[in-house]
Amino acid sequence: MDAHEVNRVRAKLALFVADVFASVPRKDQRAKSDCYLRGLMMDGRRKSIQAMAARLPDGNEQNLQQFVNQSTWDPVPVGRRIAERMVPLIGPDAWAVDDVSFPKDGKMSVAVAHQYCGALGKQANCQVAVSVHAVTDAASCPLQWRLFVPEEWQGDVERLFTTGIPEEIGHREKWRLALDILDELAGWGLVPPVVVADAGYGQNADFRDGLEHRGIGYVVAIRSDATIHPHDAEPVALPWSGNGRKPQPRYRAKPLAVAALAAGHGWHAFTEVTWREGSRGPMRSRFLALRVRPAGVRARRLAQAAATAREGSWDGVLPEVTLLVEWPEEAEAPTDYWLSSLPAGTPLSELVRLAKIRWRIEHDYRELKHGLGLDHFEGRSWAGWHHHVTLVTAAHAFLTEQRLAPKADTADSPSTRSSTPSRTC
């Protein structure tokens, strides 16, 4: 947005800030949040505090630095109010779980470590945050964030103290952080229609079990080497001699890799499905849905624990889910795989639409990073990072509201066009 566009929406922004930042106790702090949001939305290559303060007519670098890095206002109720506004506005078809990385220099920025950096596509020094987004094909918005604290930070007293990480915060796997976010949102009265996620989460049997335990349906990607049993496979108990422990029912046939199972059905078993209109026309490919039972030691132990908790005994039967496979016309073999816990009668077109809806996350990250400066924060503290991310989320929510408002498709519609060349997130 240029200065003219920002001024044009000042009144609407003031109303938005008054509602979303109502939990912030001091009037001057709410005024700084308004100023910070305008700085994030205004055109400019960098969205660091120094750069934004220089562009804003009422920008004061020292005041903004104190507001973001030292002030004690709580970002949680602000994030809650954003989520409460955005979920009914967007009317999501799904909630998408993902994580995003922020390349960093040095080792003193909060939760930084040498780890896989999706922004660079390799191992690098970076921060990683887990996020949950409300998504449709037309709109989306992040609902909550968790900063991933690497295991190497455990016991590093100097860095924990310097960055101000609360004592109760420690290392938790990303899939656990995602479930934590879902639990927090549920505590706010917000429940997903279905959860979608990439293979980094979908491959994890504990994550899928956590969703099922919470009564949340899912459509999650898995790798081609994930193993399954056909849905009609039955566990068999070996004869018991009468001595020792009685053999438990087990699936005796070797599980199949999903790639082998899918390829074995042949290309002609796949059906063409169009899931949405893209910028270059209809997006379509060929898909197959099969009922299967996820295999693996962890899946079996989770199923046994769940059955035992319900009935006191286990018959060895693994839960049944749907395997969705994509085999593009130009490909020599299937390329992508998903597991879905949705009911068996769910139409193939609906499974495909949900499996593909994650594209909106890339739209969010691109706007959050290149348009709103999500990764431009130069502070090092836990509080500062969460303040900045909450403010960026608020700016994104405000712009999303303006786009979804009547007449939002006019030439003067607010935008966050990036002043830097687009690149893959």
176 and 98 belong to one structural domain: yes
28 and 97 belong to one structural domain: no
230 and 342 belong to one structural domain: yes
Judging by DSSP bridges, how do beta strands 218-222 and 195-197 pair with one another?
Answer: parallel
Structure tokens at 70: 């030292």
Measured CA to CA, the distance from residue 217 to residue 343 in angstroms comes to 9
198 in any annotated domain: no
Q: What is the pLDDT of residue 109?
A: 96
Measured CA to CA, the distance from residue 267 to residue 315 in angstroms comes to 36
pTM beyond 0.95, yes or no: no
Measured CA to CA, the distance from residue 355 to residue 135 in angstroms comes to 12
- What letters, b where the CB count within 10 A reaches 16 and e where it falls short, cover 167-188? eeeeebebbbbbbebbebbeeb
351 in any annotated domain: yes
DSSP-derived secondary structure letter, 286: E
11 and 67 belong to one structural domain: yes
103 in any annotated domain: yes
Asked whether 82 and 145 are in contact (CB, 8 A), the reply is: no
Q: Which candidate, 320, 301, 78, places its Cα nearest to that of 205?
A: 301
The alpha carbon of 293 is separated from its chain's Cα centroid by a whole number of angstroms, namely 26
343 and 368 belong to one structural domain: no
Q: What is the pLDDT of residue 139?
A: 92
222 and 353 belong to one structural domain: yes
163 in any annotated domain: yes
Longest dimension (CA), the chain: 86
224 and 353 belong to one structural domain: yes
Provide the domain count of the chain: 3
Range of the domain at 261: 218-235+251-357
Asked which of 357, 389, 419 is the last residue of a domain, the reply is 357
Alpha helices in 204-347, H assignment, sequence order: 205-213, 258-265, 297-311
Asked which of 294, 323, 357 is the last residue of a domain, the reply is 357
Q: Which class for 95: exposed (0-12), middle (13-18), buried (19 or more C-beta within 10 A)? A: buried
Measured CA to CA, the distance from residue 188 to residue 190 in angstroms comes to 6
56 and 103 belong to one structural domain: no
Q: What is the pLDDT of residue 309?
A: 78
Q: What is the pLDDT of residue 412?
A: 44
Asked whether 360 and 135 are in contact (CB, 8 A), the reply is: yes
350 and 366 belong to one structural domain: no
Structure tokens at 145: 């964030």
Q: What is the pLDDT of residue 385?
A: 97
421 in any annotated domain: no
352 in any annotated domain: yes
128 in any annotated domain: yes
- Collapsing DSSP to helix, strand or coil, 83 comes out as helix
The alpha carbon of 196 is separated from its chain's Cα centroid by a whole number of angstroms, namely 8
66 and 133 belong to one structural domain: no
12 and 96 belong to one structural domain: no
Q: Which candidate, 411, 414, 368, 405, places its Cα nearest to that of 100?
A: 368
229 in any annotated domain: yes
390 and 352 belong to one structural domain: no
Asked which of 157, 192, 227 is the last residue of a domain, the reply is 192
Q: Average pLDDT across each block of 10 residues of the chain; the chain has 425 residues. List them in order.
A: 89 97 95 96 93 93 96 97 98 97 94 94 96 95 97 93 95 98 98 97 97 97 96 80 73 91 94 92 96 90 80 78 96 97 96 96 91 94 97 97 75 46 30
Measured CA to CA, the distance from residue 66 to residue 72 in angstroms comes to 10
C-beta atoms surrounding 86 within 10 Å: 24
Q: Who contacts 341 (Cβ-Cβ below 8 Å, separation ≥6)?
A: 208, 211, 212, 217, 218, 321, 322
Q: What is the pLDDT of residue 303?
A: 83
Q: What is the pLDDT of residue 425?
A: 25
Q: Which class for 55: exposed (0-12), middle (13-18), buried (19 or more C-beta within 10 A)? A: middle
